[in-house]
């Protein structure tokens, strides 16, 4: 922002121009979120306050946020928050920023559990807790257990659960087996790390330089690691008639289906809003 804006509306216009010149894909949305944050407002209230005068301290705060965003720090890290399934989650450098495509896991779990009283649900690799907490709040009477190997992620998930009023059994541990004593489950969801290390260079700088490697990357040379672990360790924890839902990266569906069918599992993939085969669903017989 070269000129000093006098109102929130002027600040927003300057912020949009600045981020658009930096070629950011979502310059408009980022500008709205960052200006709102600098003014201590949410996006809706920003639009209701466009004539509000801004102070020099607010201008300085907005300027700093915009410069950092232009340096490719994720907007969610700058605001400390990200919306997921209509709720605001705290995020930090210790967790993956919740992605809109992961909402499909929630939609599919809800669809599979329609009419089920007090369903039992598991989430493997919970990160911010976005999936486990959303399911606990959306499914009436649900008992939800979730695991992550990262103590720092777990601390954030606990804070999110408390602030959003969700009851989730959050455990620090390595993979699905850490949830064995809470089994059987009617649905298990997992958004495991699914980027191959050799793909790191192709990631956006926001992701590669700011999100935790533990949340992003598969072990080197083991592209099937998480699918096989979930098949081996999570499927045995399902109740009869239960389902395992795994988020996939773009292009991973054919291999995931092949691995599942080789093992004799009933499997299919569900597409996200962008048409990408995003969720692998495995059903166990009832």
Q: Is 165 left (phi over 0), alpha (psi -120 to 50) or beta?
A: left
Answer for the pair 8, 50: CB distance below 8 angstroms, yes or no: yes
Q: Using CB under 6 A, which of 24, 65, 121, 130 touches ligand SAM?
A: 130
Q: Using CB under 6 A, which of 10, 75, 79, 102 touches ligand SAM?
A: 102
Residue 274 C-beta-side C-alpha neighbours within 13 Å: 12
Cα 92 to its chain centre, rounded Å, is 12
CB of 105 to ligand SAM, least distance (A): 7
Q: Is the Cβ of residue 30 or residue 148 nearer to ligand SAM in the bound state?
A: 148
3-state secondary structure of 28: helix
Radius of gyration, alpha carbons of the chain: 21
Which has the closest alpha carbon to 90: 128, 46, 38, 34? 128
CA distances from 117 to 19, 108, 113, 120, 136 (A): 48, 17, 8, 9, 13
Which pair of structure tokens corresponds to residue 263? 């093992």
Q: Using CB under 6 A, which of 54, 125, 227, 231 touches ligand SAM?
A: 125
Give the Cα separation of 217 and 154 in Å (integer): 19
Q: Is the Cβ of residue 191 or residue 252 nearer to ligand SAM in the bound state?
A: 191
Residue 100 C-beta-side C-alpha neighbours within 13 Å: 4
> Count residues contacting ligand SAM (CB under 6 A)?
22
Q: Using CB under 6 A, which of 35, 106, 147, 218 touches ligand SAM?
A: 147
Binding mask 44-83 for ligand SAM (x = CB under 6 A): ----------------------------------------
Q: Does 31 help bind ligand SAM (rule: CB under 6 A)?
A: no
Q: Is the Cβ of residue 66 or residue 248 nearer to ligand SAM in the bound state?
A: 248
Give me the residues paired with residue 184 across strands: none
CB of 99 to ligand SAM, least distance (A): 6
Q: Is the Cβ of residue 125 or residue 242 nearer to ligand SAM in the bound state?
A: 125
Which pair of structure tokens corresponds to residue 106? 């929630």
Answer for the pair 238, 185: CB distance below 8 angstroms, yes or no: yes
Residue 123 C-beta-side C-alpha neighbours within 13 Å: 30
CB of 122 to ligand SAM, least distance (A): 12
Find all residues with CB under 8 Å of 261, minimum gap 6, and list them.
267
CB of 76 to ligand SAM, least distance (A): 11
Q: Is the Cβ of residue 66 or residue 96 nearer to ligand SAM in the bound state?
A: 96
Where in 159-218 is the site for ligand SAM (CB under 6 A)?
A: 174-175, 191-193, 214-215
Q: Using CB under 6 A, which of 11, 39, 66, 131 touches ligand SAM?
A: 131
The residue range among 19-27, 45-53, 126-134, 235-243 that interacts with ligand SAM, by the rule CB under 6 A, is 126-134
Q: Does 133 help bind ligand SAM (rule: CB under 6 A)?
A: no
Q: Does 5 help bind ligand SAM (rule: CB under 6 A)?
A: no
Binding site for ligand SAM (CB under 6 A): 95-96, 98, 102, 125-128, 130-131, 147-150, 153, 174-175, 191-193, 214-215
């Amino acid at each position: 922002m070269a000129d000093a804006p006098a109102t929130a509306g002027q600040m927003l216009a300057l912020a949009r121009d600045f981020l658009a010149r930096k070629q950011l894909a979502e310059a408009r949305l980022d500008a709205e979120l960052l200006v709102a944050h600098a003014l201590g407002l949410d996006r809706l209230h920003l639009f209701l306050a466009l004539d509000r005068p801004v102070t020099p301290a607010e201008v300085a705060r907005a300027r700093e946020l915009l410069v950092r965003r232009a340096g490719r720090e994720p907007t969610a890290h700058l605001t400390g928050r990200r919306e997921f399934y209509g709720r605001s989650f705290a995020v930090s450098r210790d967790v993956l920023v919740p992605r809109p495509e992961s909402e499909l896991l929630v939609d599919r779990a809800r669809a599979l559990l329609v009419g089920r009283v007090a369903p039992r649900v598991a989430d493997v690799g919970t990160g911010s807790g976005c999936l486990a907490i959303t399911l606990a709040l959306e499914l009436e009477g649900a008992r939800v257990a979730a695991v992550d190997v990262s103590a720092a992620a777990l601390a954030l998930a606990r804070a999110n659960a408390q602030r959003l009023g969700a009851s989730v059994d959050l455990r620090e541990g390595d993979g699905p087996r850490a949830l064995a004593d809470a089994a059987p489950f009617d649905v298990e969801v997992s958004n495991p790390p699914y980027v191959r290390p050799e793909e790191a260079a192709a990631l956006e700088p926001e992701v590669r330089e700011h999100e935790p490697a533990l949340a992003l990357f598969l072990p080197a040379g083991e592209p099937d690691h998480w699918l096989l672990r979930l098949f081996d360790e999570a499927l045995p924890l399902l109740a009869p008639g239960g389902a395992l839902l795994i988020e996939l990266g773009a292009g991973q569906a054919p291999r995931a289906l092949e691995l599942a069918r080789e093992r004799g599992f009933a499997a299919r993939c569900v597409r996200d809003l962008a048409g990408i085969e995003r969720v692998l669903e495995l059903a166990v017989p009832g």
